[in-house]
Amino acid sequence: MVVYAGQGENKRTMALLWRAHGAVQDADKVSPGPKQGLSVDEIVDAAVELADAEGMNAVSMRTVGKVLGRSGMALYTYVPSKGELVDLMYDRALGELPTRYDVSQGWRSAVVAWADDYWAFFLRHPWVLQVSSARPVLGPNEFASMDTVVRLFDGVELPALLLRRIVGTLANFVRGCVQTIAESRQAPGATGISDEEWWYARSAALAAVVPDFAQRYSALIRLETEGATPPDDDCTPYMERESTEQFKAGLEVLLDGIDASITKAAASAAGSAGAT
């Protein structure tokens, strides 16, 4: 279930996101009627906890309400719709990300540290990947996390436009890598059969149906036999180990590419400086 950001009244959404919990209703407003038995924070906390534990599919208005001992509809007093709740969950989770990295040792080590944190973050909150990234939520922590990535390159000479794209590519890269793991953890069979069992059953069925596999996909077969993942003793599922390795290796490749970009940019800057 990909959940789209609610696009209700933007103003109320923004007020909720930017910690205007007190200022949602214009502060000086009188308020007869019973006190609120809940708070937006409580609701978001409960929803995040639920999503962490049982996946985004388990998060419904009713289930969140049940956790808090209310009906599902009660939440609509605090939050305009489920979309906004998801926005709040998203931005709240992002708040966990570190915002400072040491760039004194150069950008490369800083980027690696950031990527590791980002990676771990998604593993802690896999459901975040299901929140639509099309239209940013524009919450405080989303901006903070973006700001943080940009500051990784603080001392580096790069055209702003190129830097923007590099930053985007880095974020995309981590997201893409971790998605495989995250989804396999949330898959319905996650509790039940393991990756290994699934693969075994599935590829057995495959072999039965497609006897000429090796001929049809010779390049794949060659890659698989030559470059089999070494059976690293620890017992993390196959898919996760594979993805982790790909993350590490892919990051190095990407960093080399960024390095090349920086070198090029420096050369062109020097060239134009020399020309003037």
Within positions 136 to 175, which residues make up the interface with a second copy, using CB under 8 A?
A: 138, 140, 143-144, 146-147, 150-151, 154, 159-166, 168-169, 172-173, 175
Q: Does 216 bind a second copy (CB under 8 A)?
A: yes
* Residue ranges in 41-80 that form contacts with DNA under rule CB under 7 A: 59-63, 65, 69-74, 76-78
Q: Does 32 bind a second copy (CB under 8 A)?
A: no
Task: Quickly tell me which residue has 């702003």 as its tokens.
Answer: 160
List 203, 214, 266, 268, residue binding a second copy (CB under 8 A): 203
271 touches, from a second copy, DNA, none (C-beta below 5 to 8 Å by class): none
18 touches, from DNA, a second copy, none (C-beta below 5 to 8 Å by class): a second copy
Task: Quickly tell me which residue has 């599902």 as its tokens.
Answer: 72
User: Which residue from 128, 127, 169 is spatially nearest to 149, judged by alpha carbons?
Assistant: 169
232 touches, from a second copy, DNA, none (C-beta below 5 to 8 Å by class): none
Minimum gap (Å) between residue 24 Cβ and DNA = 10
Task: Quickly tell me which residue has 């979309």 as its tokens.
Answer: 83
List 27, 30, 208, 275, residue binding a second copy (CB under 8 A): 208
Query: ∠ CA(30), CA(36), CA(39), 5° rounding?
Result: 115
Task: Find the radius of gyration of the CA atoms of the chain.
Answer: 24
| CA dist 155 → 50, 108, 159, 197 (Å) | 41, 12, 12, 49
List 22, 27, 34, 191, residue binding DNA (CB under 7 A): 34
Residue 33, by phi and psi: left (phi above 0), alpha (psi -120 to 50) or beta?
Answer: left
List 21, 120, 155, 193, residue binding a second copy (CB under 8 A): 193
Residue with Cβ nearer a second copy (13 or 110): 13
244 touches, from a second copy, DNA, none (C-beta below 5 to 8 Å by class): none
Between 238-275 and 107-124, two packed helices, what is the crossing angle to 10 degrees?
Answer: 150
Whole-number Å distance between alpha carbons of 257 and 232 = 29
Residues across the chain: 276
Q: Does 249 bind a second copy (CB under 8 A)?
A: yes
Q: Does 18 bind a second copy (CB under 8 A)?
A: yes
What is the per-residue binding string for DNA in 82-111, x denoting contact by CB under 7 A?
xx----------------------------
Whole-number Å distance between alpha carbons of 209 and 211 = 6
Task: Quickly tell me which residue has 């794209």 as its tokens.
Answer: 165
109 touches, from DNA, a second copy, none (C-beta below 5 to 8 Å by class): none
- Count of residues interacting with a second copy (CB under 8 A): 89
Q: How far is CA 27 from the centre of its chain?
A: 35
